[in-house]
Amino acid sequence: MSERTLAIIKPDAVKKHAIGDIIARYEKASLKPVAIRMMQFSMSTAEGFYAVHKARPFFQSLCSFMSSGPSVVLVLQGDNAIKKNRELMGATDPAKAEPGTIRKAHGTNIEFNAVHGSDSPETAKFEIAYFFPEMDLAE
């Protein structure tokens, strides 16, 4: 089933010049970019995006990191895009990520983990609309 997911190439990966490698991985996996935006999050943009994690001890630090430099935000489309992108990314903690995954290649630790990807259809809907409110969600 063709679906859409939201991906973020985080400030740590942008600083490491890994944008090209990460987008090439999406394309090789038949996850087609259908929208791309490069931007530096404000603190409040990061807080709104990660609102589900508000009660977590790492919330403030996560939002500071996410607003520390530019990110690349993408909508990816393809068969089973949500699950496929999570497989490509690997585990949240790069130390636990499978070889060949984006986080294994570019992540530093559980916070500076190079990329984000929506974890469910409901989350994808919220996250795509958060950054691309003008986008037609029907494929």
Residues catalogued as catalytic: 116
- Rg, C-alpha atoms of the chain: 14
- Regarding 45 and contact with ligand CMP (CB under 6 A), the answer is no
- Regarding 116 and contact with ligand CMP (CB under 6 A), the answer is yes
Span near ligand CMP by CB under 6 A; candidates 13-21, 71-79, 107-115, 125-133: 107-115
Residue 61's beta-bridge partner residues?
none
- Regarding 108 and contact with ligand CMP (CB under 6 A), the answer is no
- Nearest to ligand CMP of 87, 139 (CB atom): 87
Span near ligand CMP by CB under 6 A; candidates 24-32, 78-86, 94-102, 108-116: 108-116
- Nearest to ligand CMP of 49, 132 (CB atom): 49
- Regarding 62 and contact with ligand CMP (CB under 6 A), the answer is yes
In the numeric block, which tokens belong to residue 37?
């935006």
- Regarding 91 and contact with ligand CMP (CB under 6 A), the answer is no
Task: Tell which residue, 96, 68, 66, 78, has the closest CA to residue 32.
Answer: 78
- 32-39 β-sheet, strand order: 32-39, 71-79, 2-9, 115-117
Cα–Cα dist 76/127, whole Å: 12
User: Which sign, positive or negative, has the C-alpha torsion 105, 106, 109, 110?
Assistant: negative
Q: How many residues bind ligand CMP (CB under 6 A)?
A: 8
- Nearest to ligand CMP of 23, 63 (CB atom): 63
Backbone dihedral angles phi then psi of residue 130, each to the nearest 5 degrees: -65, -40
Contacting residues toward ligand CMP, per CB under 6 A: 53, 58, 62, 92, 110-111, 113, 116
